[in-house]
Amino acid sequence: MQTSEDTVDASVSASSSPRQLAPDAVPIGVPLEFPIVDSDGALLFERGAVVIGADEHRFLFEHFKPQRGDLSAGAEDGADAAQPAAKPGESEALTLKEMHLTIGALIGVRSQVGMGAPMHPSRIIGFAPNESLFVTPPLVDGKAMSLAVGENVEIVAIASQAVFRFVCTVDSVCLAPFHYLVLSKPGVVRRLRERKSVRVRASLPLRFGIDAQGSGYESLGLVQSVSAMGMSFAAPWTVGEVGKRIRVAFRLQSKDMDTSIEATAIIRNVQQGSKPGDPATHGIEFEMLDQVEQMALKVYVFDRIDDVIFWTSGPK
């Protein structure tokens, strides 16, 4: 008699074959006969790439869900976004000028009506002498969010040096000459964290090449955090010393964005594993990103603003 557990196991086994890879299906030290992708379709190893050794092989199966990239299948996103609790910041009597907000700055807006509502993207398009804000209507599924005059909204703003959270009142909803909102002077401002660059948690595959001028990628890493300026990633072995330039390739995906980035970067920080065989963590700073890549990074950080990493040291 087949139990419910047997049915579940059989279903899982069937769904993972033949696309899902077992460890013994990935050879070490010889060119791969097929590309390897993660469960969401992100490229991990190209066809012809080489899994260098046992450490890299173990890293691949510990941190990813390797699948054959040459077989068609409806890949499902198997990675759940981390949801750590953010520590509340200090309340400060800051002005707009002191927050260093600029026209065009990306902000998140949500109504204070109801609990747990998501942030929706908007942009600052102007300031008034009385510190009122002119902003574009927040978008929900591509449509303008419905807000009423007198309604209180919570704002998260990403400035050049910090992330701020504050509350405004909708003073006006204007439809001409275009659709925009007028928000009151910000109420009490909370500075979530001041740092060189806002950083959010991530779990993304990263390919890296130790020759910054080359065109190939030798190995695989796991991105642990991302900012608009750089990232930290774990790798099965130490990629290089501080100051070394490397090549990296990764893919950023969100609801309205899918961008592949290939760039050179400088290693700014290296942390060895606590024991032999443990991954090494690297902090890198990007070089010469184009406008599309810069915007993709900023949007990725904004989309995960409730997942800001609070730290004062660590990979930069």
pLDDT in tens, 151-185: 999 888 877 667 788 899 999 999 999 999 999 99
In 3D, which of 302, 290, 256, 289 has the Cα closest to residue 159?
302
Q: Is the pLDDT of residue 62 over 70?
A: yes
**Number of other residues whose CB lies within 10 A of the CB of residue 262:** 13
What is the value of pTM for the model shown?
Answer: 0.52
pLDDT in tens, 229-257: 899 999 998 999 999 999 999 998 866 67
Q: What angle do CA 110, 113, 115 make, to 5 degrees?
A: 80
* Residue % of the chain over a pLDDT of 90: 33
In 3D, which of 168, 163, 164, 165 has the Cα closest to residue 181?
168
- Pairing mode of beta strands 133-135, 199-209: unpaired
- Token duo for residue 5: 């557990």
Q: Which domains does the chain have, with CATH numbers?
A: 11-68 (no CATH), 95-194 (2.30.110.10), 199-307 (2.40.10.220)
